[in-house]
Amino acid sequence: AQTVTQSQPEMSVQEAETVTLSCTYDTSENNYYLFWYKQPPSRQMILVIRQEAYKQQNATENRFSVNFQKAAKSFSLKISDSQLGDTAMYFCAFTVYNAGNMLTFGGGTRLMVKP
Amino acid sequence: DGGITQSPKYLFRKEGQNVTLSCEQNLNHDAMYWYRQDPGQGLRLIYYSQIVNDFQKGDIAEGYSVSREKKESFPLTVTSAQKNPTAFYLCASSILGQFYGYTFGSGTRLTVV
């Protein structure tokens, strides 16, 4: 069975600072895809960033970047220059190539950005 | 604009009642999914469907039922057999074979009264 673990239930960061959210996963597959989703207070799920496991280069999207360590099965999210609008639940998720696109989600990290 | 529409946004259910949550997409996506989210927890898969007239149970299917009569629609019925239905329900869709994640609906908050 595939599992995703987010070990930090809650985190906080000062506005304009950098924060890193942790995620580890367990799979015996070699070909898979990893995602970070953001769920703000509106509860709308928003895709933040995506990483293909066969690519060694870490994905970046503006202020968001990942540190993908395939051997360690680790996929952390770094948010630079944190903004008040980054306050949200963040979910790590992944899918394996032959799983019909089905995502397995972690338990989430609640991030609070303080002014 | 293409997207996924979930309705209603809020739903109240009396004990012993069945209720149906609507999910409609106009993205021409093949696959559709239902997830349940409890407070402070992650998303758990209830049911998914990859093709019309076919669907599969997820991790927590007991007390729920679905249908997929049209590609665009994937309604979820919460039956009286579901003993703890109060939760936030999310519907999602994706294109099979393209691993770009899901498009999500805005969710339905179901409360037992």
Please report which confidence band the pLDDT of residue B26 belongs to, taking 50, 70 and 90 as the band edges: very high
Neighbouring C-alpha atoms within 13 Å toward the C-beta of B27: 20
Classify the phi-psi angles of B86: left when phi > 0, otherwise alpha if psi is within -120 to 50, otherwise beta. beta
Instruction: Find, in chain A, the residue whose alpha carbon is nearest to that of B32.
Output: A102
Measured between CB atoms, which of B42, B45, B100 is closest to A102?
B45
What is the pLDDT, as a whole number, of residue B96? 85
Mean pLDDT rounded to a whole number for chain B: 93
Measured between CB atoms, which of B35, B50, B107 is closest to A43?
B107
User: What is the pairing mode between strands B43-51 and B31-37?
Assistant: antiparallel
Question: How close does chain A come to B36, measured CA to CA in Å?
Answer: 11
A99: pLDDT strictly greater than 90: no
Whether chain B has a CB inside 8 Å of the CB on A98: the answer is no
Q: Which residue has the tokens 């149970």?
A: B57
B93: pLDDT strictly greater than 70: yes
DSSP-derived letter for residue B70 is: B
Do residue B101 and residue A37 have CB atoms under 8 angstroms apart?
A: yes
How does pLDDT run across A27-85, given as a tens digit for each residue? 888 889 999 999 999 999 999 999 999 888 999 999 999 999 999 999 999 999 999 99
